[in-house]
Amino acid sequence: MSATPKAKELTEVSEAQIAVHWKEEEYYQPSEQFKAQANMRDPRIFEKFGLDRFPDCFKTYADMLTWFEPYHTVLDTSDAPFWKWFVGGKINASYNCVDRHLEKHGGKAAFIFVPEPEAEQDVTLTYRDLYERVNEVAALLRGLGLKAGDRVTLHMPMVPELPITMLACARLGVIHSQVFGGFSGQACGSRIEDSGSRMLVTMDAYWRNGTLIDHKVNADIAVRAAKELGQDVDKVLVWQRHPGKYSAKTPMVAGRDVFVNDLLKDYKGKKVDPVALPGDAPLFLMYSSGTTGKPKGAQHGIAGYLAYVTATSKWVLDIHPDDVYWCMADIGWITGHSYIVYGPLAIAATGVLYEGVPTYPDAGRPWRIAERLGVNIFHTAPTAIRMLRKLGPQEPRKYKYRFKSMTTVGEPIEPEAWRWYYDEVGKREAVITDTWWMTETGGFLGTTMPAIHPMKPGSCGPAAPGIHPVIYDETGAEVSKGSGTAGNMCIRNPWPGIMQTIWGDRERYVKTYFAKYNKNPKSKDWRDWPFLCGDGAVQAADGYYRILGRIDDVINVAGHRLGTKEIESACLTVPEVAEAAVVPVQDEVKGRVPEVYVALKPGVPPSQAVIDRVIKANEEVIGKIARPKHVYIVPDMPKTRSGKIMRRVLAAISNRRDVGDVTTLANPDVVEQIRVMVQGKDVTKTQDALPEDIAKFGQVE
Ligand code: WTA
């Protein structure tokens, strides 16, 4: 890492290496000016967080929080691998994100809300405003009978009422489960059921792409779906996007639906003491997709999670009290929970909260907002970068904002997109941190420390302090750095941000994240429990990791995790469909998009109507983000002799690659028929190797 290697092509490529054949990129150095001001400048930090200092090194993180009662144990491993961090102490997340800043930062903006319609005024919420509103909502929730440990489902858009509701829950110890606003009512309903929520908090409408969308309609579908699954919802709290006015067409249901603004009148000026909760009590659930059709509720605990996102907001995002920070992610995903709400608020940041799509009404919008509000730290995902680059490559030049640092998160970023981000958006001045992590990990795992490490386009860098990754092959042998070989990315040690369990499914937690490399299920020693992240990765000789994508059946669409099994079961809700197979396809903007293959029941003729129904089913069961790029009706699925669908073959066809040897299939002829249907008679195939996630796709069948 000290010497800059020349750009070099790997020349010798074995079969196992083909998928990771790539060019070494040049390093980019952070500016002296950036280095001089950074919160974390000490390279010895990595020694201080060495494995020999584990787990006590993480006391530094816990010390960044305010405790009601001190903890006595840093890490309790007695119920391995259900790690308990900072045990014995009492703490409250809402207190740490709001109350403790009142004295010094009460008048400072916590959030600047930017509505999507450009003519609508920004709304600034100071820490004092936030304190008052969080208290009133907490009083309201308590008035409705909620108490610590209860679950409440939120299905909210990007408005200040979302973090306000989350923090109100946290104040009481109520576990919030925010479902991404773009998910369908049905998807929300199944998450309500899994979490056992009796209350849903939503909003009547929100602006998206120039339209005020009726969102309340989803609440009705969600409550019905939950009931069908056996979970009753007694109360639906409805925020109004334009207070005092109902912006949805769907009627309110008497006795069940209530406007939050009406209820709040009884709680004006009310204060609720933040409940002193055990450090290892749950803070929230975040549902995410995995190998099966059922989303898993990642459960995050208060103290460990909060300590981790606080420290990484300070050291990696490098937020200072006078910065204006803007993360364009949606709070409905983990990035928004950790790096719009909990982390930045815990360090008294000023954050921009933007309601709408980045390209509305044009690709200059983000840069106008940045200029107007003086944003100097910017955080977004490769999909947004690719889209803004495509629609307005020179737009950033028209605006006078100045970023000192920028983040990319959620998907691998191609070096070309990285360079545009650096040259045009960052104006060759801002550092970029490529932060690799996931819902389950609470906060950043792979990243550079922006003032310590040089950047390398396309690689996330080494790892955050105290995170000790290892790449294992299928046999459990370590894949050495610089070998040019890919393997399964794991973390050797627990860290405070790691999820506590899958809500209601301990067994699935152990099986999904630990079973593969754990040799002794009875062990109480953390060393026996490497965490399987779910990504393939390769480590260059300099120690930098390049993430290749998911190894489970998850498709990362524009940074959103979608389970193929979830999409397939949505397709199977269409009565005419007998079998469905979903594969990822490379997409210039969104990274990956799903493509669907269906075989129809005997006697049903193929038709556009069936295709439309399949598309609609995906939008209804999951949401618009699951809309397939194509739906192909095939005469039969390519299958093994034992009857398993060969998704790998379909993925090769969809991505215009060689299907390989298919002679051992039960029905090899169908492969050529499908190929012609998808690619046309004589389409020339690309010779490029398939990206690792697609190449490996469907291998575990
Ligand atoms: C992918 C999002 C490459 C990865 C925070 C991971 C990335 C999944 C990066 C988690 C990155 C996230 N480079 N790939 N910087 N960040 N990913 O749970 O495949 O929505 O497993 O969390 O996104 O997605 P999730």
pLDDT at 644 exceeding the cut of 90 = no
Span 674-698, mean pLDDT?
A: 78
Which spans in 38-101 are helix H? Answer: 45-48, 59-62, 93-97
Q: ∠ at Cα 97 (93, 99), nearest 5°?
A: 100
pLDDT of residue 4: 37
Which residues partner with 298 through β-bridges?
286, 502
Strands (DSSP E) contained in 188-280 are: 199-203, 205-208, 211-214, 235-239, 257-259, 277-278
pLDDT of residue 134: 98
Rounded to whole angstroms, how far apart are CA atoms 583 and 655? 9
pLDDT tens figures, 123-156: 999 999 999 999 999 999 999 999 999 999 999 9
User: Average pLDDT over the chain, rounded to whole?
Assistant: 93
Ramachandran assignment for 607, one of left (phi > 0), alpha (psi -120 to 50 degrees), beta (any other): beta
Residues with CB under 6 A from ligand 1: 288, 333-335, 409-412, 434-439, 460, 534-535, 547, 549-550, 556, 561
pLDDT of residue 292: 78
Question: Residue 21: pLDDT band by 50, 70, 90 thresholds?
Answer: low
pLDDT of residue 3: 38
pLDDT at 700 exceeding the cut of 60 = no
pLDDT of residue 7: 33
Q: ∠ at Cα 181 (92, 632), nearest 5°?
A: 140
Q: How far is the CA of 535 from the centre of ligand 1 (A)?
A: 8
Q: ∠ at Cα 579 (573, 582), nearest 5°?
A: 90
| Candidate from 68-82, 117-131, 678-692 with smallest mean pLDDT | 678-692
pLDDT of residue 14: 34
Return the best residue to mutate from 285, 437, 489, 548 for the ligand 1 pocket (most ligand atoms within 8 A of CB): 437
pLDDT tens figures, 500-512: 999 999 999 999 9
Question: Residue 22: pLDDT band by 50, 70, 90 thresholds?
Answer: low
Question: Residue 86: pLDDT band by 50, 70, 90 thresholds?
Answer: very high
pLDDT of residue 102: 98
Rounded to whole angstroms, how far apart are CA atoms 403 and 426? 6
pLDDT of residue 19: 43
Closest ligand 1 atom, residue 438 Cα: 22
Q: Which helix (H) or strand (E) holds 649?
A: helix 647-654
Q: What percent of the chain has pLDDT over 90?
A: 86
Under 8 Å between Cβ of 592 and 560:
no
Give pTM, 2 decimals: 0.93
Closest ligand 1 atom, residue 547 Cα: 3
Question: Residue 699: pLDDT band by 50, 70, 90 thresholds?
Answer: low
Report the nearest-CA residue for atom 15 of ligand 1.
Answer: 436
Greatest mean pLDDT among 292-301, 393-402, 551-560, 657-666 lies in 393-402
Q: How far is the CA of 297 from the centre of ligand 1 (A)?
A: 17
Span 481-502, mean pLDDT?
A: 96
Q: How far is the CA of 335 from the centre of ligand 1 (A)?
A: 10
pLDDT of residue 701: 39
Q: How many residues does the chain have?
A: 701
Q: Which residues contact 494 (CB under 8 A, 6 or more apart)?
A: 55, 75, 77, 81, 83, 85, 526, 529, 531
Q: How far is the CA of 440 from the centre of ligand 1 (A)?
A: 10
Report the nearest-CA residue for atom 14 of ligand 1.
Answer: 411
pLDDT of residue 692: 76
DSSP state of 299: E
pLDDT tens figures, 217-254: 999 999 999 999 999 999 999 999 999 999 999 999 99
Strands 109-114, 123-126: pairing is: antiparallel
